[in-house]
Amino acid sequence: MNVKLTFKREDRDNQAVLLRVKGDVTIHTSPRLREELKPLFSASMKEVHVALDDVGFMDSSGIATLVEGLQWARMTGGHFVLSGLSENVRDVFELAKLDTVFDIEDSTA
């Protein structure tokens, strides 16, 4: 398992941002994901997109971090979108029945 997690932030405009995540999201790396996500949520940021195209594995701590992101978006009146889920990651969301809670797109537009 890859313990390194990297991020690339792409500001789409002053109200939308895309965060590309690369690596495995585990109990060891999910705190880094949380550190990257939390500052993105503000009253002025209307859309936060998280591209998971380069995430091959995610454990429950990663899922919990994304649930936090969804809660932050709701508290600030924003929209939280996940995209590019690998089959393994999508399976975890489906098993937890979170695929109906999150807005999930096939790939990053």
- Residue 95 domain-assigned (yes or no): yes
Domain that holds residue 58: 6-105
CA 71/CA 57 separation, integer angstroms: 22
Task: State the total domains in the chain.
Answer: 1
- Residue 61 domain-assigned (yes or no): yes
- Residue 1 domain-assigned (yes or no): no
**SS3 for the chain, per residue?**
CCCCCEEEEEEEECCEEEEEEECCECCCCHHHHHHHHHHHCCCCCCEEEEEEEECCCECHHHHHHHHHHHHHHHHHCCEEEEECCCHHHHHHHHHCCCCCCCEEECCCC
**pLDDT tens across 22-63, in order?**
999 999 999 999 999 999 998 788 999 999 999 999 999 999
Q: Looking at residue 98, which CATH number applies to its domain? A: 3.30.750.24
Q: Which residue has the higher pLDDT, 3 or 67?
A: 67
- Residue 30 domain-assigned (yes or no): yes
- Residue 54 domain-assigned (yes or no): yes
- Residue 72 domain-assigned (yes or no): yes
**pLDDT tens across 60-72, in order?**
999 999 999 999 9
